[in-house]
Amino acid sequence: MSPETKDCIANGVFTVGNYFYGGVGHVNVDYGKILKKGFRGVLEETIAAMNQLDPDDPETIKKRQFYNAVIISYNAAIKFAHRYADKARELAAAESNPVRKAELVQIAANCDRVPEYGARNFYEACQSFWFIQIMVQIESNGHSISPGRFDQYMYPYLKNDNISREFAQELIDCIWVKLNDVNKTRDEVSAQAFAGYAVFQNLCVGGQDEEGKDATNEVSYMCMEAVAHVKLPAPSFSVRVHQNSPLEFLYRACEVSRLGYGVPAFYNDEVIILALVARGVALKDARDYCIIGCVEPQAGHRTEGWHDAAFFNIAKVLEITLNNGRCNGKQLGPVTGELEELDSIEKIFDAYQKQMEYFVRRLAEADNAVDYAHIERAPLPFMSAMVDDCIKVGKTAQEGGAIYNFTGPQAFGVADSGDSLYAIQKHVFEDKKITLKELKEALESNFGASDCVTPGCKEPSIEGASLSEAEIYEAVKKILASTGSIDMATLENKLTEKISTSACKTGTCCGESTGRFTTIRKILQNTDSFGNDIEEVDEFARRCGKIYCNEVDKYTNPRGGQFQAGIYPVSANVLFGKDVLALPDGRLAHEPLADGVSPRQGVDTHGPTAASNSVAKLDHAQASNGTLYNQKFTPAAVSGEQGLKNFVSIVKSFFDHKGSHVQFNVVDKETLIEAQEHPEDHQDLIVRVAGYSAHFVTLAKEVQDDIINRTEHNM
């Protein structure tokens, strides 16, 4: 990477660091192919391809190495499974309990058969699936090794088996338990970003088949049962919904969601399929999409999507824009004008656009540098042989062997940026309550919060401050004396100034300027915000998101594929919020940013429908690498039959308005606070963080606070 690109990373504009120390992951392989043909089928396919090589073609030298690597790794994988068979027989020989002994004998027989050969029944299919899952994980140490459409490739084995449904459910439950065994080695920074140790194994049910018909089946519902039975964070469980989904399917999914485990996440076929087609994916392949990692759709087992390719901090770009390209005292971005010179909102947007052009260009360079490194240093022959068309073309997925190739960096801070720019438009250019010079000074001083350094001096803050009745009366008298009438905004400002100046015990540092900064912050905080279904406000957030997406669309990757934008944070909105200074929406420096496409915490005050209507106005189709929307309900809001009906209606309404994804925490704030204070009593509390669920007590405190502070909706 160039020094300029490394500077951008060092200053918190974006990061690609997740992939410095481990595999890319973010893949769905062809589980169905292995269930049907086994690893022997892959070896036969590979040998046939080798026999077709043209000895005079220079590429044959490279292709032969790939085919040799596939043969070596698949023979090793067969031996790996046979060692489990040997171990099961060893345990069976020493087992006195006849029931357990019979189980071990059956396990040995299963591991002798699969995954070397195709599965003959549901039990063997489950065992084969699990071997594939752990081997792909072992090879790459990546995350988001996603099982994809589990119900589609598993159902034929259930349908044609005489297994009891009770035992079949137990086997699926066991898979749910085992998926919680998987973890990966992380560096310190990404361990914070993925608080809760998520591995993002996204398992998806429902949706359509390649012909557009509903594909829901018995296994779809059994997966929901597994969530209720096992009560663990993994897998990241998702449901696909379309206009012809059975109503029972949607009701059952909402019933599972209100159990409070943060799953399933809901995805809208009507938006996602067309978005993939617009990216060049064939319609039949787009209909067969699955979800990878957090929220990323892809054509299953045909794609090297490198989703989650970077965290890109849109709010940081806005901060840099308002400082004429400067960051931490250096000229990081282009010179686009001092804030006082940008005397219209369009001039600010123009400057923002130019900064975005620069930083996304650097982002693309960073991603492509990492892409080249993985091509050269970390090809994955075992995984690649289960991705179409790697064997056919003789290339690993990292080298471009997949049918579809993408790079998907995701942004966060859309709502923060939109609300900030709308606040400038409203209070500077329309109502003229604040000048650009005042705004700049207030932002530089962190609204006065960083000015108070004298011992005994409190940070000026409205929260928690109080005035005596005499002090309030004094403020009212002064206003009446000068104007003859009471204007509530004027009174509010006077009281704010009174609080901020009286907060200073020494009187040496919190003077008139600090009082004015506090007043400015109060004005900014009282602005209409994204998340309340106000067209003018929502358009600012939509525009900020599109500026990012438009820039990302310009770039291609070394595998011959296109960049595509996503808008989701994992939990990086907390970690990378620490890199962002004060913003014109009233946010103080270093506080968390809004998560994903969700409104900022606590500002969506017009109810869940208004909030989801705002979110639906973003261009989810263009952000085809995925968007993430969190909502939080109290358990009482969705209880009972009427609560369930309301819950279903919220999902249907959001999808009717062309929203792409939504997921829910069903938990009250008091429970979360209690769990934070007494973690020993809440070891089993599971919450939805972002594109994954985690045990609440394992999360970093900042992430816990972020979840606690999300808007709590009632119906």
Question: Active-site residues: which are they?
Answer: 294, 296
How many Å from the N-terminal Cα to the C-terminal Cα in the chain?
50
Rounded (10°) angle between helices 165-179 and 122-140: 10
Closest CA to 128 of 167, 188, 171, 162: 171
Cα 617 to Cα 313: distance, rounded to the nearest angstrom: 21
- Helix, strand or coil for residue 642? helix
Closest CA to 576 of 450, 706, 446: 706
* Residue 625: CB atoms within 10 Å: 32
Exposure letters 59-90 (e unless 16+ CB within 10 A, then b): eeeebeebbebbbebbeebbeebeebbeebbe
Closest CA to 205 of 234, 179, 241, 230: 241
Cα 494 to Cα 680: distance, rounded to the nearest angstrom: 46
Taking a C-beta distance cutoff of 8 angstroms, is the pair 259, 228 a contact?
yes
Name the helix (H) or strand (E) containing 662. strand 661-666
Taking the CA of residue 380 as centre, how many other CA atoms within 13 Å lie in the half-sphere pointing to its CB? Answer: 27
Three-state SS across 498-566?
Answer: HHHHHCECCCCCCCHHHHHHHHHHHHHHCCCCCCCCCHHHHHHHHHHHHHHHHHHCCCECCCCCEECCE
Parallel, antiparallel or unpaired: strands 296-299 and 289-292: antiparallel
Taking a C-beta distance cutoff of 8 angstroms, is the pair 599, 531 a contact?
yes
CB-based contacts of 435, cutoff 8 Å, min separation 6: 428
How many helices and strands in the chain, by DSSP H and E?
Answer: 27, 19
* Residue 641: CB atoms within 10 Å: 7
Amino acid making up residue 523: I
Closest CA to 2 of 366, 367, 368, 376: 366
Name the helix (H) or strand (E) containing 289. strand 289-292
CA 664: distance to chain centroid? 13
Cα 415 to Cα 551: distance, rounded to the nearest angstrom: 18
Taking a C-beta distance cutoff of 8 angstroms, is the pair 265, 661 a contact?
yes
Name the helix (H) or strand (E) containing 240. strand 236-241
**How many residues comprise the chain?**
715
Cα 399 to Cα 307: distance, rounded to the nearest angstrom: 16
The two structure tokens encoding residue 634: 């109290």
Amino acid making up residue 553: D
The two structure tokens encoding residue 119: 């599965």
* Residues β-bridged to residue 633: 666, 713
Cα 330 to Cα 446: distance, rounded to the nearest angstrom: 19
The two structure tokens encoding residue 109: 């027989």
Closest CA to 290 of 305, 308, 279: 305
Cα 627 to Cα 288: distance, rounded to the nearest angstrom: 19
The two structure tokens encoding residue 374: 């993985």
CB-based contacts of 103, cutoff 8 Å, min separation 6: none
The two structure tokens encoding residue 335: 């010179």
